[in-house]
Amino acid sequence: MFYREAGDFKTNYADDNQTFPIRFDRYRYYAVMLFAFGAVPFLINDYWVNAIFLPFLIYAIAAIGLNILVGYCGQVSLGTGGFMAVGAYACYKLMTAFPEISIFIHVLLAGGVTALVGVLFGLPSLRIKGFYLAVATLAAQFFLVWLFNRVPWFYNYSASGQISAPERTVFGIAVTGPNTTAWAPYLFCLVILTLLALVARNLTRGMQGRKWMAIRDMDIAAEIIGVNPLKAKLSAFAVSSFFIGVAGALFFSVYLGAVEVGEAFGINQSFLVLFMIIIGGLGSIFGSFAGAAFLVLMPVLLKNVLVGGLGWPTDIAAHLEFLIVGALIIVFLIAEPHGLAQLWRVAKEKLRLWPFPH
């Protein structure tokens, strides 16, 4: 009934190749975009931005980045936290060295720096695969965190080793620092997320994405049909690290405002983003959003229900949160091992046939 191609005629190739070829799907997408850009900025306050939307948007960027590497190219990475730290510190150094340049450019440049670092740590992927590669990227995680703790140049020789984001503006409106209005950082992150998601979507369904998927499915076969593993793997590392670097830069500058590398970008962060894409669905852009939403919003929601709604003690609520989120992860993965994205796909198939089951 809903997701039907029937009656949705295309008269040229461009229409046929668009991201959402089904009309209903396309309108739904427009509606979400309209709501996100047109309605949300007027409705939110500081709590909504800082506790819910900013972490969701930023983790969505990181999850898309990691999904490109793990989900599309099949290279397991546990270095996400470290790469986010590279983005954050690159952004900090750029922000403080060139205060007059727009923060938007700094964030993208920070992504670029991270891409270079990612390529460097991606080099071992040419020789090793699977678990062994995971260990190599784990080394990157620990090395990068150690480096930012050890070398005072990265944190401008501050006494505590903390980096904190000074106020920076886009078109004269503050998006970092304490004096922001709620909608400014939200829109800033949303614009970046939208741009990057479009890039990711089009990369993964084009030539480059097919090369990555060929490498993922069987690297020897891919090589035989003419995919250069060096280029494919390193480009996946570069693009993925770019996304993760941008996420790290936003995480530091817009969301937290002050970070300490070991605490904010530790191994937990790597696992969190990895869990997001596993729960959301490997090899799916929608899955990255769904996974990020699940792991960012569930704890906040549970906390509000248990502590705010039911008035339980905070420690019991915190422990229950772990239990419930953990149980839900297991339930979802048993119900659908391919993640929330697969649930969504199945739901779409069902809707397509509805109300006639056959």
Partner 1 sequence: MKLKFASMALGAVMAAAPAMADLVFPSLSYRTGPYAAGGIPFADGYADYFTLLNERDGGIGGVPARLLECETGYNTQKGVECYESTKGEGALVYQPLSTGITYQLIPKATADDIPIHSMGYGRTSAANGEVFSHVFNYPGNYWNGASGAINYLLEANGGDLSGKKIALVYHNSAYGKEPIRTLEELQKKHGYELSLLPVDHPGQEQKSQWLQIRREKPDFVLMWGWGVMNQVAVQEAANIRFPMENFIGIWWSGAEHDVLPAGDKANGYKALTFHNVGRDFPIFDDIQKYVVDTGKAAGAGDQIGNVLYNRGMYAAMLAAEAAKTAQEIHGTGEITASQMRDGMEALQIDEAKMAALGMPNFGPAFDVSCQNHGGPGLVGVTQWDAANKTWSLISDFAATDGEVIGALVAEDSAAYAAENNIEAGCK
- Please report whether residue 342 would count as binding partner 1 according to CB under 8 A: no
CA distances to 1, 17, 199, 233, 326 from 205, in Å: 26, 10, 10, 17, 33
Binding mask 264-303 for partner 1 (x = CB under 8 A): x-x----------------------xx--xx--xx-xx-x
- Please report whether residue 160 would count as binding partner 1 according to CB under 8 A: yes
3-state secondary structure of 175: coil
Q: Could you list the beta-strand ranges (E) of the chain.
A: 163-164, 169-170, 173-174, 258-259
Single residue of 262, 338, 345, 351 touching partner 1 by CB under 8 A: 262
Q: How many residues bind partner 1 (CB under 8 A)?
A: 54
- Please report whether residue 168 would count as binding partner 1 according to CB under 8 A: no
Q: Which stretch binds partner 1 (CB under 8 A): 66-74, 200-208, 227-235, 251-259?
A: 251-259
Place of tokens 């004269």: 172
68 in Cβ contact with 243 (< 8 Å): yes
Helix (H) / strand (E) containing 278: helix 267-280
- Rounded to whole angstroms, how far apart are CA atoms 237 and 203? 14
Binding mask 298-327 for partner 1 (x = CB under 8 A): x-xx-xxx-xxx---xxx-xxx--------
Single residue of 7, 38, 172, 178 touching partner 1 by CB under 8 A: 178
3-state secondary structure of 290: helix
Q: Supply the minimum distance, in Å, between the C-beta of residue 146 and partner 1.
A: 9
Place of tokens 């953990």: 326
Angle between helix 267-280 and helix 314-335 axes, rounded to 10 deg:
40
Q: Which stretch binds partner 1 (CB under 8 A): 70-78, 104-112, 129-137, 172-180?
A: 172-180
Q: Which stretch binds partner 1 (CB under 8 A): 124-132, 226-234, 262-270, 328-336?
A: 262-270
What is the maximal distance between C-alpha atoms in the chain?
69
Say if residue 355 is preceded by a cis peptide, omega within 30 of 0.
yes
- Please report whether residue 46 would count as binding partner 1 according to CB under 8 A: yes
Single residue of 260, 336, 338, 348 touching partner 1 by CB under 8 A: 260
Q: Which stretch binds partner 1 (CB under 8 A): 65-73, 79-87, 101-109, 160-168?
A: 160-168
Single residue of 25, 41, 124, 164 touching partner 1 by CB under 8 A: 164
Q: Which stretch binds partner 1 (CB under 8 A): 71-79, 124-132, 157-165, 213-221?
A: 157-165
- Please report whether residue 258 would count as binding partner 1 according to CB under 8 A: yes
Q: 170 vs 272, which CB is nearer to partner 1?
A: 272
Q: Which stretch binds partner 1 (CB under 8 A): 82-90, 111-119, 156-164, 331-339?
A: 156-164
Q: Residue 137 carries which side chain, given as an amino acid letter?
A: T
Single residue of 14, 159, 220, 334 touching partner 1 by CB under 8 A: 159
94 in Cβ contact with 109 (< 8 Å): yes
The alpha carbon of 258 is separated from its chain's Cα centroid by a whole number of angstroms, namely: 20
Number of other residues whose CB lies within 10 A of the CB of residue 254 = 28
b/e string for 334-358 if b means 16 or more Cβ within 10 A? eebebbbbbbbbeeeeeeeeeeeee
Q: By CB under 8 A, name the binding residues for partner 1.
A: 32, 35, 45-47, 50-52, 55-56, 149, 158-162, 164, 166-167, 177-179, 255-260, 262-264, 266, 289-290, 293-294, 297-298, 300-301, 303-305, 307-309, 313-315, 317-319, 340, 344
